């Protein structure tokens, strides 16, 4: 399929995990992809993988905590491709784990919020004006199932940031609903990415036991499963959705 033939898709946090999977899927579906992230070597590798498969992509170094970096990302995208049709604001970090809310430091808090929440807002701040010029556009923000529930894992800043992403998505979705821009959030469950890597390395049995107990499907998800849902949200098949959250979590929040 080429649902996105010649469309321009910008993906932050695209050097690994869900972002990388989404970039590859978009390219397979005909889009011209901007791979945005901090790690040049990994970003170049994603671009090479896309091009080797016959797709089109470019890497633009981006730090979503830096407004100037995001402004540069959007400017370079417009200079290179002329427009932005789809944006996947996906960059995120887990922050310090196994610390109660009162044990988290100001540095912990600021670092997570700056990346996971402020980074999403800044991305939209610069994406939306370009989409308004074109009269259309689609934005998908990465939240989490932890944006809808609490957690006893000692990740309060992460949970707060993802709740914030959902609130931001709902508000922006309403604001631009009559201006041709759809804005939704994807809420992944436990997905096999770098974010869960440390848990698998240091306490694999405990982590997998958690998956077995808390995930009705009884397994961890794959990044490509989230990517496919992101592309659906970006497609015309989801043309009547905005300001919504789509949970792709193996049934976690239904328990």
Whether residue 59 lies in the annotated active site = no
Reference 98, options 108, 86, 84, 87; nearest CA is 108
| Distance, CA of 76 to CA of 69 (rounded, Å) | 10
| DSSP label at residue 187 | E
Please state, in angstroms and as integers, the Cα–Cα distance from residue 211 to each residue in 29, 73, 97, 148, following that order: 32, 37, 17, 18
Whole-angstrom Cα distance, residue 220 to residue 195? 13
Active-site option among 81, 126, 158, 190: 158
Query: Max Cα separation, the chain?
Result: 51
Distance separating alpha carbons of residues 8 and 6, to the nearest angstrom: 7
Q: Can you tell me the distance from the alpha carbon of 185 to that of 116, in angstroms, rounded to the nearest whole number? A: 13
Catalytic residues: 158
């Amino acid at each position: 399929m080429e649902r996105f033939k010649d469309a321009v898709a910008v993906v932050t946090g695209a050097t690994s995990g869900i972002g990388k999977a989404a970039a590859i899927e978009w390219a397979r579906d005909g889009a011209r992809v901007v791979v945005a992230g901090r790690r040049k070597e990994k970003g170049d590798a994603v671009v090479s993988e896309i091009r080797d498969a016959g797709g089109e992509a470019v890497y633009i170094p981006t730090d979503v905590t830096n407004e100037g970096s995001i402004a540069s990302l959007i400017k370079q995208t417009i200079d290179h491709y002329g427009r932005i049709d789809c944006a996947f604001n996906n960059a995120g970090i887990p922050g310090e784990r196994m610390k109660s809310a009162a044990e988290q430091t100001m540095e912990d808090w600021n670092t997570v919020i700056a990346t996971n929440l402020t980074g999403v807002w800044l991305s939209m701040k610069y994406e939306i004006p370009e989409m308004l010029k074109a009269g259309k556009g689609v934005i998908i923000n990465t939240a989490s199932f932890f944006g809808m529930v609490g957690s006893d894992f000692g990740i309060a800043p992460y949970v707060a940031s993802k709740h914030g992403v959902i609130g931001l998505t709902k508000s922006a979705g309403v604001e631009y609903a009559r201006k041709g821009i759809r804005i939704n959030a994807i809420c992944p469950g436990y997905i096999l990415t770098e974010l869960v890597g440390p848990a698998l390395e240091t306490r694999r049995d405990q982590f997998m036991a958690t998956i077995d107990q808390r995930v009705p499907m009884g397994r961890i998800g794959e990044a490509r499963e989230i990517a496919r849902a992101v592309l659906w949200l970006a497609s015309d098949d989801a043309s009547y959705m905005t300001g919504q959250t789509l949970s792709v979590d193996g049934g976690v929040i239904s328990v």
